[in-house]
Amino acid sequence: MSELRFNELRGEHVDYAIHRQERTFLPARDHCPLCPTRPGGPPTEIPFAAFEIAVFDNRFPAFRAPRGAAEVVVYSDDHDASLGTLAAERVEALTWVWRQRYLELGAREDVDYVFIFENRGVEVGVTLHHPHGQIYGYPFLPPVPALELAADARLGGCAACVLLRDELAQERRVIYENESIVAYVPYAARWGYEVHVCLREHRPSLLACEARELRLLAEALQSVVRGYDALFGRPFPYVMAVHQAPTVGSAPESAAAGHVHVEFYPPLRTAEKLKYLAGSEQGAGTFISDMLPEESAATLREAIARAA
Ligand SMILES: [Zn+2]
Ligand SMILES: [Zn+2]
Ligand SMILES: [Zn+2]
């Protein structure tokens, strides 16, 4: 059903999850599998008439025990909610759910990296509109977190700490700040409206965060998403990636490496225009962008203020 192959030329794994072809694809809203099971209605994935946050194994997993995990995290029983419109307490609770899943999946022998993410919008391939995210437990360290570890080595310390210090010193690309969190468009953003949401303190994972920091992280994420939605006056598509320390048991040196941050990759350049990954991005691995991070940061700051 599922097979992991190593692509020698790229030095990376490719996961073949053939059964995923049968996934539910953009069902009508009264057949949403992530809605609660209403009395007298058809059964959904969630056998309750109401719920706050639901976590369960993905029925069409890209990874599964004993070689990894794939879970679905449903943010709300309200089909039309989003990260931006949920109550603040709900998003705060969601960060606690993330933390608990990181703890449990990370403790597993077959999980080397716990990856929490959300795909939002058909533009990034969403098949269900109900507000939800996913968690993959990779049975190996994937290339992106591996690159971040390499950046730590290159910069002689935590890369996230170094980059955050630079962004705070330069100020121009910072779009949101609170007591514990800073959000900015990175100096060398690949996507026009890419944003990184970073803990001020060095916290390898959500497990190292204080309760207050989780609350302020939730607040920051909501501010960013609301700003995104205000930007073009439409639900803004994105991929949201939560990066934390790897959970490779056999490599103790990785235990403190990693610094909690959330990266947003939005494919939109304007209200209608999408950024496609084409020749240079795919064939050479070099992003070509027609937007300066300083300018997108100014636009996003304004949108966040407008949405507040
Ligand atoms: Zn639904
Ligand atoms: Zn750090
Ligand atoms: Zn990252």
What pLDDT score was predicted for residue 252?
45
Give, in order, the Cα–Cα distances in Å from 252 to each of 29, 101, 146, 245, 295: 47, 21, 15, 11, 41
Range of 11's domain?
2-307
What pLDDT score was predicted for residue 174?
98
Residue-wise pLDDT tens digits, 149-166: 999 999 999 999 999 999
Please state, in angstroms and rounded to a whole number, the distance separating the CA atoms of residues 266 and 274: 9
Q: How many angstroms separate the alpha carbon of residue 205 from the centre of ligand 2?
A: 10
What pLDDT score was predicted for residue 41?
87
Higher-confidence residue of 96 and 41: namely 96
What pLDDT score was predicted for residue 256?
61
- Contact between residue 167 and residue 182 where contact means Cβ atoms under 8 Å apart: yes
Mean pLDDT over the full length of the chain: 94
| Domain count across the chain | 1
Ligand nearest to the CA of 37: 1
Just list the catalytic residues: 132
Please state, in angstroms and rounded to a whole number, the distance separating the CA atoms of residues 282 and 49: 45
Residue-wise pLDDT tens digits, 190-234: 999 999 999 999 999 999 999 999 999 999 999 999 999 999 999
What pLDDT score was predicted for residue 60?
87
Ligand nearest to the CA of 158: 2
Rounded to two decimals, the pTM is 0.95
Q: How many angstroms separate the alpha carbon of residue 263 from the centre of ligand 3?
A: 6
In which region does residue 241 sit, left (phi positive, over 0), alpha (psi from -120 to 50) or beta (all else)? beta
What pLDDT score was predicted for residue 255?
52
The CATH number covering residue 128 comes to: 3.30.428.10
What pLDDT score was predicted for residue 75?
98
Looking at the chain, which runs of residues are DSSP E strands? 2-7, 12-17, 54-57, 69-74, 113-120, 132-138, 174-177, 181-184, 195-199, 238-243, 261-265
Element (DSSP H or E) covering residue 293? helix 293-307
Residue-wise pLDDT tens digits, 162-184: 999 999 999 999 999 999 999 99
What pLDDT score was predicted for residue 48?
95
Q: How many angstroms separate the alpha carbon of residue 110 from the centre of ligand 1?
A: 32
291-299 mean pLDDT: 97
What pLDDT score was predicted for residue 249?
65
Residue-wise pLDDT tens digits, 97-141: 999 999 999 999 999 999 999 999 999 989 899 999 999 999 999
- Contact between residue 71 and residue 101 where contact means Cβ atoms under 8 Å apart: yes
What pLDDT score was predicted for residue 26?
78
Position 54: which residue type?
Answer: A
Q: How confident is the model at residue 257 (pLDDT cuts 50, 70, 90)?
A: confident
Please state, in angstroms and rounded to a whole number, the distance separating the CA atoms of residues 41 and 264: 36
List 198's β-bridge partners, or say none: 182, 261
Q: How many angstroms separate the alpha carbon of residue 243 from the centre of ligand 3?
A: 5
